[in-house]
A and B are shown apart, each in its own frame.
Chain A
Amino acid sequence: MFGAGGGTNSYQEVEDADVVFLWGSNARAAHPIWFHHLLKGVRQHGTRLYVMDPRRTESAQWADVWCGLRVGSDIALANAMAREIIHAGLHHQAFIANACEGFDAFAASVEPYTLEWAEPITGIPADVIREAAHAFATAPRAMICWTLGITEHHNAVDNVLALINLCLLTGQIGRWGAGCNPLRGQNNVQGGGDMGAIPNKLPGFQDIEQDADARARFEAAWGVPIRPTYGKNLTQMFQAMGTGEIKALFCIGENPAQSDADAHHIEQMIRGLDHVVVQEIFLTKTAQMAHVVLPAAASWCESDGTVTNSERRVQRCRKAVEPPEGARDELWILSEIAKRMGLDLGHPTPEALWNEFRALAPQFAGGLSYERLEALDGIQWPCPDESHPGSTYLHGRLWEQPRQGRAAPFSIVMHEVPFEQRDANYPLLLTTGRRLDSYNTGVQTSGYASPLRTGETVDISPEDAARFGIVDGEVVRISSRRGSVLAPARIDPSLREKLVFMTLHFPDDVATNVLTIDKADPKSGTAEFKACAVRIEKVPARVPAGVR
């Protein structure tokens, strides 16, 4: 965000926020301990909570207002709020004048997004949109927090920009308890970005094409030339496998055969490669397709290092147990591969590697030594020097007079419907998500005996169940344009009509991603897991769930 690449606030700040928009997030189930902080705000401070989610989730049940928008109408809703705020004169003119650029063009771009237009598009009554917009704009402190309901769309980046626009418009940024925060889905999504595990950045958010100084620093340190071109994101990689441009895959700690959209297609792509190496702690479905499996130590408890959480806190992971005989530390494996390719990196300790990173990434250079990470129980970047306690909220500079640094731009983004729409053949929309006790493709969570686990189901509204004559627990066939699976139906009153819900947690029983669509956002490479058209059919005889 404005060059920083991280959420703008700390968890603690949500306890002091007066209004929170929880947008496309079921944090009660997916980020339970963050939700504790939100509930402290709701119950003790009186935080007014709005939940924007097509499903009336367990998070939405805590909301003052549930905005049950139609899947993929997020920009329509955000832009309608922006227009309403501007027309009511509630935009923060002093802040905009001080901090932003592009306001006039933005205001013109949202002009068609009237409340009356937005109501049928979003499915939210105009009065509710108006009230939410006014509440957000007039709150002393307001925050927007989101998860994959925003980013697993074919226009993910635009969705995020629409939310940032709202914060800029109202001055809800750069202060304690005001800002915009993605809740990260995995314990090191933020840290992966910090460390440059994204195709267009060197470690420390330094642009690999545009930042020649950064390239020079890395070239000097590593003694190898850095190619000044962006790499491929996940979606582009699979496209390149299809065209034969990519012939080999080295996959570390990821299970794309089951976690990625359009699973049949992904499997075909992986099987078509000349050479597949999987570095894993489990023999996942992807590992089973590999030519070579490198058994690895579990990074979070069998080796040392750091992760960065959703509030930008760099945290120490520590080795608590020895890995099983034969499994190697991931750093050891990578160093050995480098050696056998002719580059002897030695065997650096995690701390030495961290310090090398800090020496090359100015944003992380200051006070983030291992010693200080230990002493302060993790530190929130940016942390410019050894006496700095870390930064709770970002972008205070936008309020400074005169403003420090470059202006924050408004972005012009337009409503687009999901790539796939309901039609006569596929009259339902499938959206996917997580349940409390499970995680992603279940390789970790299948290891413990959760009393909450019921296995995969296809959740459908009572209205659709009645329409199709389906009873609770009945095994039904769910089909999309890409494939079909069998799963027991679960009647869920939190779902609106024509919306069905599944998870990715039990891919060996029900391969949900056979259904999903790999239509991805060109800017982020994230697939539209949150929307694909399906139909549900009764199955004539009793068939065990999962059989295709």
Chain B
Amino acid sequence: MTTVIADPEPEAPRKPLRTKVVESNNQLFRASPLNYLVLVLTFFLSVFPLYWMLVMASRTNDEIVQIPPKLIPGSHLGEHVGALFDNPDVMFAKALLNSFIVAGSITLFVVIFSALAGFAFAKLRFRGSNVLIGLVVLTMMVPVQLGAVPLYMMMDWFGIQGTLPTVILPYLASGFGVFLMRQYASQAVPDELIEAARVDGATTIRIFWSVVLPALRPAAAILGLFTFMTYWNDFLWPYVALSPEHPTVQVALSRLSSGYYTDQSLVMAGTFMATLPLLVVIVLFGRQLISGIMDGAVKA
């Protein structure tokens, strides 16, 4: 398209066809008012449930059940959040801390292990590497939670049933992470740099730490971000595996909502607090998230 536009030739009358092409292409890419309507509506629908959560978290239970509903936030948010943290059955503060521990340690290990393997697959030649990378891709196709029953038994064998390691250990191997790092390392780490380090007598692990890992930092950040969010939000396995005294935030939420008497405003205050860290992430790193999703889509 650029070549067509950057073609201000004097003999314009000779090419009416070309001008037409430029026009239709511009039309293709220019947004109409209808497009903006679609976009604004989509934006509204995307944000509305979260807004609604805020409205309900800040209203009393009596106000929540009123018809017609109150459409703007009330004044009780602080009160409900306070009640949430004071409720000894829910252990919300502990649940928040547990979620940070779980998601944080999974993220740390996934990034390191994926970077190590990704570097090896992208830059080191070894027998069987093609077969092994094929296996990595295959592991992405396995629905891991189908192994819930044996995993539950294994945690019993290891003597860690119900504790936080039960929901950390199964997630440390990420096929997606290895694949992502391999793709990134193959274009971001120049071979000459590795060779130069070898000439200087650096061992492979030394090269990894001082040359490769710094170059992989952008991809590591994206992988870390996605991993953290995924396991902050993870539900099924923690719901099955964790004992009542070790809840994560999502498990605490489900417990909050499934009592005989459900305090709706407390549930909504809980979802609000559980969602808050993620909203902070999207405000800070929204742009990187978008490019992460889109780059991953093109490469995969």
Binding partners A and B: no
Interface residues of B (CB under 8 A from A): none
Interface residues of A (CB under 8 A from B): none
